[in-house]
Amino acid sequence: MRKILLLFTFLCYVICSTQAQRKESFLKRALRTNNDTIYVQQYLTDVTFRMLGQRKYSYYDLNDRGERRELLYRPNNRFTVGIGANYEILGLNLVFNVPFLNRDESLGKTKFLDLQTHFYLRKFAIDLFGNYYKGFYIANPRSFIPGYQPGDGFPKRSDLYHTNFGLQVQYIFNDTRFSYRAAFVQNEWQKRSAGSLIAGGEAYRMEVRSDSNLVPTGNPEFFDGSTFSKSSIFTVVGNIGYAYTFVYRKHFYATGALSAGLGINSTAMRFQEGHNKLQEIGWQFNNTVRLSAGYNSAKYFAGVHYVEVITRGQSPVARTYQTFGAGTFRVSVGRRFGLKKPWIKPGSLLSTVKKD
């Protein structure tokens, strides 16, 4: 019995080890790139250090096609400054609020936790969103507040908050010659112009809630006079697009990427009267925009970077839809520092096969 048990344990070990090796091999094959160094030069084993200033933001719009009006809710976003670094698959940015850059009290106070993160591999671009914002103002009050005067300031909704949890994954078809990392992470250098078809999928769970009607009183036609105070949305979308980097004299670059997505959403609205609920499945239209421009070289880099995801979904009210948006604007300058000895053993998942 003991020999049989030992034999069974040995066979389990061999099978598990074999499966682990296969999985590791498949994962590495999925992430490895036959890198064409004429187009892209990598500096993953250098320490990429940057100083940066950035603004992250999120917003919510109500759109009525029948009325040809839209209600714009905006938070009072902050501009932050800080430092960051990248090495191999590791990256970290530390940013801090600067009070004298964020003194506009006319927009009210916004409490937020914005955890949107963008991972750029050579074959994949991955966007993660975990946002919480509370405290908004109406950005176009003239259209919705009867008797509004510019001197009245922007109407504030301190009771309004929204959350957004989402994931987007896009595959980069021309990973051998096109690099998102060169434009947005700066641990690579795109030396020649190149582009790529991109395609993938995304899923989001969004919610907006307030203590009273989301549509200001005095607008009986907008959203058919609906008095809802909460809207919850779950959406799944497939997308396709194109990305391109134009390089001038090897060092100056401009990168642009645009993708469009089509899918479905399930939206539930809760109304104040009797806590009624209206739920419906409708179409979802999304867009992702990525822009970057600046200077890059073997050691130094500087640039501006912009990423925005826009989601538009049909609501249960006829001829209307809701828009959620989230994005980041960043300015950065930095330098790469070579190491005499790598900190991480060569052969990580981001290692590539060079093709000269």
Mean pLDDT of 127-152: 90
302/296 Cα distance (integer angstroms): 7
- Which pLDDT value is given to residue 15? 44
Question: 237-272 pLDDT, tens per residue?
Answer: 999 999 999 999 999 999 999 999 999 999 999 886
132 has a pLDDT exceeding 90:
yes
Mean pLDDT of 333-347: 79
Residue of 295, 191, 298 lying closest to 250 (CA atoms): 191
- Which pLDDT value is given to residue 107? 83
Please give the structure tokens belonging to residue 39: 């187009």
Distances (CA, A) of 148 to 35, 142, 348: 59, 6, 60
166/269 Cα distance (integer angstroms): 20
Residue 327 counted as domain residue: yes
245/201 Cα distance (integer angstroms): 23
Please give the structure tokens belonging to residue 99: 């009070």
Residue 108 counted as domain residue: yes
CA angle 133, 135, 141 (to 5 degrees): 120
Higher pLDDT, 122 or 345: 122
Residue 25 counted as domain residue: no
327/289 Cα distance (integer angstroms): 9
Mean pLDDT of 90-111: 80
pLDDT band at 91 (very low <50, low <70, confident <90, very high): confident
Residue 53 counted as domain residue: yes
- Which pLDDT value is given to residue 82? 94
CATH number of the structural domain spanning residue 277:
2.40.128
Counted domains in the chain: 1
Mean pLDDT of 116-121: 89
Q: Report the b/e string of 215-232 with b at 16+ CB within 10 A.
A: bbeebeebbeebebbbbb
Structural contact between residues 113 and 131, judged by C-beta atoms closer than 8 angstroms: yes
Residue 17 counted as domain residue: no
129/170 Cα distance (integer angstroms): 15
19 has a pLDDT exceeding 90:
no
Structural contact between residues 39 and 191, judged by C-beta atoms closer than 8 angstroms: yes
* Residue percentage of the chain with pLDDT more than 70: 85
Question: 159-204 pLDDT, tens per residue?
Answer: 999 999 999 999 999 999 999 999 999 999 999 999 999 999 999 9
Question: Considering the chain, what is the average pLDDT of its residues?
Answer: 87
Residue 23 counted as domain residue: no
109 has a pLDDT exceeding 80:
yes
pLDDT band at 274 (very low <50, low <70, confident <90, very high): low
215/222 Cα distance (integer angstroms): 8
Please give the structure tokens belonging to residue 332: 């950065």
Structural domain of residue 56, as residue ranges? 45-355
pLDDT band at 29 (very low <50, low <70, confident <90, very high): low
Residue 7 counted as domain residue: no
pLDDT band at 217 (very low <50, low <70, confident <90, very high): confident
Mean pLDDT of 213-233: 91
Pairing of the two strands 353-355 and 34-36: parallel
23 has a pLDDT exceeding 60:
no
Mean pLDDT of 24-35: 65
Residue 95 counted as domain residue: yes
- Which pLDDT value is given to residue 286? 97
On the 0-12 / 13-18 / 19+ scale of CB atoms within 10 A, 254 is middle
